Amino acid sequence: MRLIVHICRSASPLPCLVAAYLMAVAAYPIIRRRNAACIVTVAMACVAIVACLFTIPREWVVVRALAALLIIDLIFRLIDFARQRWRGDFDVSWKNYCQFLITFPWLVAVFGQKKRRLRTDQRILADFLRLVLGFAGTALGVALLLAANKIAALQSSFVLDHITKLFIFALTVESISQALCGAERLMGFDTRPIYDSAVVSRTPADFWHRANTRSQAWLYLNVFVPSGGRHALARGVWATFLASAVLHEIAFSIAISRITGYQLMFFLMQAPAVLSSPRLDRLARSWGIWGAALAHAVTVVWIGATSVFFFDGIDRIFPFFYASHRWQP
């Protein structure tokens, strides 16, 4: 409620976003060309767009974080359009380019994906239920978070607190993803949830395939493939997680006005786990149901243990996230 009041009382986030989108729109005449000026323009535009976040007062941590989500989406779209324009012969009008920059559906940032539309008869009741249940799950997650913070055992034990918050976070994020996907599909967009049942992942690679499916699609086309990942898997995986790590570190650092390095650590730790996933998957298949259960348990423990670094950023944006004292400095 206080966040809504702050936003209504001041227009400071609005100039930030307006300036960012105007810069992206103004870059069109140059990035539509396939020359060196295109690369330089995209790089300069991305830096200038990120700099817009600093116009938001640093004490408005939550507002900065939410604005960063929109800014990242915009940068993704700008880079992907430039990549496809550089490699292809297609010509896009200024109007279609501006429509592509619109941040809806969120993180559908690969040029051409928005064209995947549903027919009227494909917008079914299930999508409406997805929207309603998603909102209900989100509300339940918030209620559980507030209730959990009053439990003395969680206040005195970071381990118990983290395990509890891991469950609540998974429930809330999955619910938000379902609600957003339901709204998008009811509006005619052929999308899938951002987090697509990540809790059932059998290996770390499977988890990252299901977690943030839209960023995964963008990273695959704009980082993994260009880095040679199709022929050099290890190099592609490391490059992909490095890009994700840098993006998250920048976004969290701007939001909390502090560089911790924890986002960098979290995402770089995932690369070796993903590269080891084929062995874990073979073990799961050879041992049948017990192997599958063991692989799933290993994945849950790994993601849960390393997520303390990721959740540090969440707790700094939302100081009420943990009931106990954080162990990190």
* Residue ranges of domains in the chain: 2-103, 115-195, 200-329
User: What pLDDT, on a 0 to 100 scale, did the predictor assign at position 4?
Assistant: 41
Residue 273 CB partners (closer than 8 Å, separation 6+): 204, 205, 302
Cα 121 versus chain centre, distance = 30
Best CA proximity match to 159, nearest among 269, 307, 11, 267: 307
User: What pLDDT, on a 0 to 100 scale, did the predictor assign at position 213?
Assistant: 86
Cα 151 versus chain centre, distance = 30
pLDDT in tens, 101-115: 988 888 888 988 888
Among the residue ranges 36-45, 99-108, 186-195, the one predicted with the least confidence is 36-45
> Quick check: bond before 319 cis, omega within 30?
no
User: What pLDDT, on a 0 to 100 scale, did the predictor assign at position 3?
Assistant: 44
User: What pLDDT, on a 0 to 100 scale, did the predictor assign at position 120?
Assistant: 66
pLDDT in tens, 217-274: 899 999 999 998 888 999 999 999 999 999 999 999 999 999 999 999 999 999 999 9
Cα 195 versus chain centre, distance = 9
Global pTM reads 0.87
Whether 123 shows a pLDDT value over 90: the answer reads: no
Confidence of residue 43 (pLDDT cuts 50, 70, 90): confident
Query: Any idea what the Cα angle at residue 215 is, between residues 263 and 115, rounded to 5°?
Result: 160
Buried b (16+ CB within 10 A) or exposed e, 66-81: bbbebbbbbbbbbbbb
Average pLDDT over the chain, rounded to whole? 87
Only one residue has tokens 């009420």, namely 320
User: What pLDDT, on a 0 to 100 scale, did the predictor assign at position 328?
Assistant: 65
User: What pLDDT, on a 0 to 100 scale, did the predictor assign at position 96?
Assistant: 86
Whether 9 shows a pLDDT value over 50: the answer reads: no
Whether 17 shows a pLDDT value over 80: the answer reads: yes
> Rounded CA gap, 96 and 115, in Å?
11
Confidence of residue 90 (pLDDT cuts 50, 70, 90): low
DSSP 3-state helix, strand, coil percentages of the chain (rounded to 5)? 75, 0, 25
User: What pLDDT, on a 0 to 100 scale, did the predictor assign at position 122?
Assistant: 63
Whether 138 shows a pLDDT value over 90: the answer reads: yes
272 close to 315: Cβ distance less than 8 angstroms: no
User: What pLDDT, on a 0 to 100 scale, did the predictor assign at position 89?
Assistant: 61
The alpha helices in 88-212, defined as continuous H runs, are 94-101, 125-148, 152-156, 158-186, 204-210
* SS3 state at 92: coil
User: What pLDDT, on a 0 to 100 scale, did the predictor assign at position 329?
Assistant: 64
